Amino acid sequence: MKETLNEIYEEMTKGLFVPLIFYFPRRIWNQFDKRKWDDKMFEDAFDHVVLIKPDGSDALLNNELSNRYFFIKKERLDKNTFKLLDLQKDLDEKQFKFLLDKYCHQIDFCRRISMWMVQNVQTDITDLTKETFMSFELQQNSFNEHWKYVQENFVDAPKMEEAPTDGILNKKDFKAFQDLMKPAGILSGAISTTTDKEEEVKTPKKPKKEKKILVTEEEANTLLLRTVFNLDI
C-alpha cells in the first residue's frame, strides 16, 4: 500500500466535505449570545447559502445553479465506499476498525447537520429557490445512503443513534457550527466570500484577505473529533 493510513483517511474526509452546501442560522447563534451575534458586522455570515465547490473553493450561492455539484458528491461518497472495501482486505483488523470508527463519526455529523438544514433552510432563508432546496435534499440523501450502506455492510461500523427528526440542534452541534467560523475553522472565510458571478458582497470594513481553500483534511478531522465528538487529539 503506497499511501499511508493518514493520507487515505484525509482523502476520504475530503470526499465528505467537498462539495458541500450549507448556511449559518442566525437564530441559533442568537439563542446563545444575541448581543454578540446580532451585530451588523455578521450580517453576511448568517442566513446565506454557501457552496463549497469540488475544488474546495467557496462562494455565496445567491440561488445560482448548484444541483450538478451534488451528483458529483454521490460519486465521491461511492468512491469512499469502494476504498473501504479495498482497505478491509489490505489492512489488519485493528487498523481497519480504527479507520472505520473515525470515518463513521464524520459521516454521522454530516448526516445529522444535513438533515437539520433540509428541515429548516426554507424557514431561515425566505427567498430560497426550489433548485437550491433540491441541492440540500440531494446532499442529505447522499449522506443517508452512504451511511446506511456502511452500517449494513461493515460489521465493525459503530452503531449510533438515529439522526434527530425534531429539527433541534444540541449544544455539541452548536459548538461544532461555532468553531467553523473561527480563524482556524474550515469555513472561516464565509463572511468575505464572493458569488459565482463575482458580484460585490457587503462585508465588514477590514483589510481584504486572499481567497483561500476552506477545507483541508486535517482541519476537518480535528474539528469533528474534538468539538463534535469530544475526543482529545
What is the per-residue DSSP string for 133-166? HHHHHHHHHHHHHHHHHHHHH-TTSPP-PPPPSS
pTM of the predicted model as reported, rounded to 2 decimal places: 0.72
**Residue 141 region, left (φ>0) first, then alpha (ψ -120 to 50), else beta?**
alpha
Say what the pLDDT of residue 206 is. Answer: 43
The one-letter amino acid at 18: V
State the CB neighbour count (10 A cutoff) for residue 143. 24
Which H helix or E strand runs over 14? helix 5-17
**Is pLDDT larger for residue 171 or for residue 107?**
107
Q: What backbone torsions phi and psi does residue 165 show, to the nearest 5 degrees? A: -115, 5
Residue ranges per structural domain of the chain? 5-228
CB distance 174 to 12 below 8 Å = no
pLDDT digits (tens, 9 = 90+) for 121-163: 999 998 999 999 999 999 999 999 999 999 999 998 888 766 5
Q: How far is CA 199 from each of CA 60, 62, 192, 194, 228, rounded to the nearest angstrom?
A: 10, 10, 12, 6, 34
The C-alpha atoms of residue 117 and residue 112 are separated, in whole angstroms, by 9
pLDDT digits (tens, 9 = 90+) for 33-73: 777 777 778 777 788 999 998 888 888 898 889 999 998 89
> 166 CB contacts (<8 Å, ≥6 apart)?
none
Asked if the peptide bond before residue 19 counts as cis, ω within 30 degrees of 0, the response is yes
* pLDDT higher than threshold 60 for residue 167: no
**Residue 230 region, left (φ>0) first, then alpha (ψ -120 to 50), else beta?**
left
Closest CA to 115 of 79, 76, 167, 77: 167
